Amino acid sequence: MTIELLMFDMDGTLIDSMADIAAQVNRSLVAAGLEPHPQDRIRGLIGQGPRYVFDQLLEGKAPAARLDGLVVSFETLYAKHLVDTTAVYPGMMGVLEHYKGIKKVIVTNKPQPFADALVAKLGLAAHFAAVYGAEAFKARKPDPMPLLESCKRFSVKPSRAAYVGDSTADMQASKAAATVSVAALYGYGKPAAVRKLKPDFEVTAPAQLVGLFN
């Protein structure tokens, strides 16, 4: 299959950031006098921003002011611990090199400052034409706008673009944008839930992305 634009989610797709995110989520909860949560519980919530994570952990019962405080606490802590354990998934750098002839962008719900910092710290900058974080567009995934706008900025028809992501939000956005959807089942999303959305391709390791496109 020939494509002209290859788009990637970040957490759980390009990089394994689970431990660092979960650690700072729990530190923020404890600092606020709340109970920490198992990493496996937090894992399934990553992908729609820290406010969503806290809202879900608190079962939608926390007032806006409390959520605001938790997000500020998390972002302050996370900025200091971005790459304590975070790393590019094994095999992913080879994938990026393999597709060096295709324009590549990152489209993530991660706050832009963190996305930019991680790209720089993990040596990813040379591989991507753009990094679009949570603030880049008026809407976030699962809304298709970030993918549609990315295609528009590079003058590529959605049908000639592919999006690689690990979550249901990623697949929902890709399907709604009519881009080629690639489910990264090695990531943080629940495979059964992701598969229900019928992605065009599934991979269980980054290296399997090689050869899907030309």
Question: Shortest CA distance to 15 belongs to which of 78, 71, 92?
Answer: 92
The catalytic residue among 9, 11, 16, 170 is: 9
Residue 67's Cβ-count burial label (10 Å; 0-12, 13-18, 19+) is middle
Reply yes or no: is the peptide bond before residue 142 cis, omega within 30 of 0. Answer: yes
Q: Answer yes or no: are the C-beta atoms of 62 and 54 closer than 8 Å.
A: yes
Alpha-carbon gap, residue 78 to 139, rounded angstroms: 23
Task: Give the Cβ contact number of residue 81 at 10 Å.
Answer: 15
Q: How far apart are CA 155 and CA 165, in angstroms?
A: 22
Contact 164, 182 (CB under 8 A): yes
Q: How far apart are CA 212 and CA 151, in angstroms?
A: 19
User: How far is the C-alpha of 79 from the C-alpha of 70, rounded, in Å?
Assistant: 14
- Angle, helices 112-121/64-80, rounded to nearest 10 degrees: 20
143 is catalytic: no
**Which residues form the catalytic set?**
9
